[in-house]
Amino acid sequence: MKPILVLALAFCGVCGIAQGTAAENPKTPDAIPETGHAQPETAPLDELMRSFVKEHETPGAALAVARRGKLVYARGFGFADVEHGTLVQPDSLFRIASISKPITAMAILRLVDLGKLKTSDPVLKLVKFKPADGAAGPADARWHGVTVLHLLQHTAGFDRAKSGDPMFRSVDIATELGQKPPARPEAIIRHMLSRRLDFDPGTRYAYSNFGYCVLGRVIESVAGMPYEKYVRDEILKPVGVTRMRIGATREDQRAAGEVRYYTRDKRRGGSVFAADLGSSVPVQYGHWYLEAMDAHGGWIASAVDLVRLASSLDDDAQKRLLSPGALGVMFTPPAAPVARDGNGNLAPTYYACGWQVRPVGGTGKINAWHAGGLDGTSTLLVRRHDGFTWAVLFNTDQTKDLRAPAAAIDGLIHKAVDQVRRWP
């Protein structure tokens, strides 16, 4: 990876990537193997990661931390590939699942900055697919009121708790449209256009993978190019991120440097691919279709990539992708009545545009974060109000007590960061 600009240069000195296998560098017979440059100053982070990976029996993990735009920590722990003894490196690629949503939000707001899009634009004026049932327009007239901002804030009217998540119905939707499974994004959108919304747009919050799928198609329509190409060219490359890409579902299509994914109970399910439809496969390698999840959950990235990208949102970033106005939109609460209590007061936390946000009482500052999870994957990206940004990635989705690793380690990383007395 070639560093560019001052922001990227600040990320080059700390990784010290060490290659090898567990047999070459254990400190004790049962030690968790480590890669990257160990620094005495950041020992609390090392201690946390070693103990967490061991205690919770996670195959592998990577953690990267930046302080005021400078990478100060990047290390790998455990195994990227257990069977072959390959270690997680600081720059190993992981499926990041729903951390894809902040990336999509950045791409949308970049188009807003360029004057090519407004968050108030009705989605159906930008994404012009025909409903699956052949009707001239959507089955529900409320579709016409869905805006780009509604999609960004998960207030567009789609509630997977009521009607299911169409992003995980690849076979049914493809069959409905007379296509070979798995269903692509256009087919999924056409299917949803023939259904009713679950609530009036703008009236409440309901987390929606599908809404971000639609945003991916908005980007394609406005930018005039595939979603992945736009994001890589206009969002990632300007800040020196060159290895991120949309991942592949099948294990034999893993990218160079990508980890393998593990489920604790070795779950299996029916394949969604026409070539072996219904046959038993590991759930993480064929029971759902990652490529169709591009804009809401399809990216693979390293922890260092994510910290570099998120640091570009800092006030003092050397390379700013978004204007102050666009950043304001990104973190502004949704309009009432969303995220309000019975008295109209803003909730302690809310979902803005691609980020969960918690205002830090009375300071005007915020903590912002996004987690991600798929079978075999658990991830977390945090931007803290005091200038710290970190990403932690796991190649499994459950600890030994059946929690998501990213959720289990969240508060512990805050504590470990606070225990560091002097930063490199």
Per-residue pLDDT, averaged over 33-47, amounts to 98
What is the number of residues in the chain? Answer: 424
Fold held by 102-233: Beta-lactamase (3.40.710)
Among the residue ranges 44-48, 134-138, 299-303, the one predicted with the least confidence is: 134-138
Sequence letter at residue 19:
Q
Per-residue pLDDT, averaged over 308-324, amounts to 89
Q: Model confidence over 262-283: pLDDT tens digits? A: 999 999 999 999 999 999 999 9
Q: How far is CA 341 from CA 333, 338, 356, 359, in A?
A: 13, 9, 17, 16
Q: Taking 80 as the threshold, does the pLDDT of residue 189 lie above it?
A: yes
Whole-number pLDDT of residue 248 = 98
Q: Taking 60 as the threshold, does the pLDDT of residue 387 lie above it?
A: yes
CA 200/CA 238 separation, integer angstroms = 38
Whole-number pLDDT of residue 14 = 52
- What percentage of the chain carries pLDDT values higher than 70? 93
Per-residue pLDDT, averaged over 396-423, amounts to 97
* pTM value > 0.85: yes
Query: CB neighbours (10 Å) of residue 329?
Result: 19
Under the banding of pLDDT at 50, 70 and 90, the label for residue 379 is very high
Going by C-alpha positions, the residue among 101, 99, 391, 93 that lies closest to residue 253 is: 93
Cβ-in-10-Å burial (0-12, 13-18, 19+) of 107 comes to buried
Which pair of tokens denotes residue 280? 């038993």
Given a contact cutoff of 8 angstroms between Cβ atoms, the answer to whether 78 and 244 are in contact is: no
Cβ-in-10-Å burial (0-12, 13-18, 19+) of 178 comes to exposed
Whole-number pLDDT of residue 17 = 41
Whole-number pLDDT of residue 13 = 45
b/e for 222-238, b at 16 or more Cβ within 10 A?
A: bbeeebbebbbebbbeb
- For the chain, the domains span 5-92+298-419, 102-233
Per-residue pLDDT, averaged over 199-227, amounts to 98
Q: Model confidence over 63-117: pLDDT tens digits? A: 999 999 999 999 999 999 999 999 999 999 999 999 999 999 999 999 999 999 9
Q: Taking 50 as the threshold, does the pLDDT of residue 290 lie above it?
A: yes
Per-residue pLDDT, averaged over 322-340, amounts to 97
Going by C-alpha positions, the residue among 346, 338, 347, 390 that lies closest to residue 368 is: 390
Q: Model confidence over 1-29: pLDDT tens digits? A: 333 233 333 444 455 444 443 333 434 44
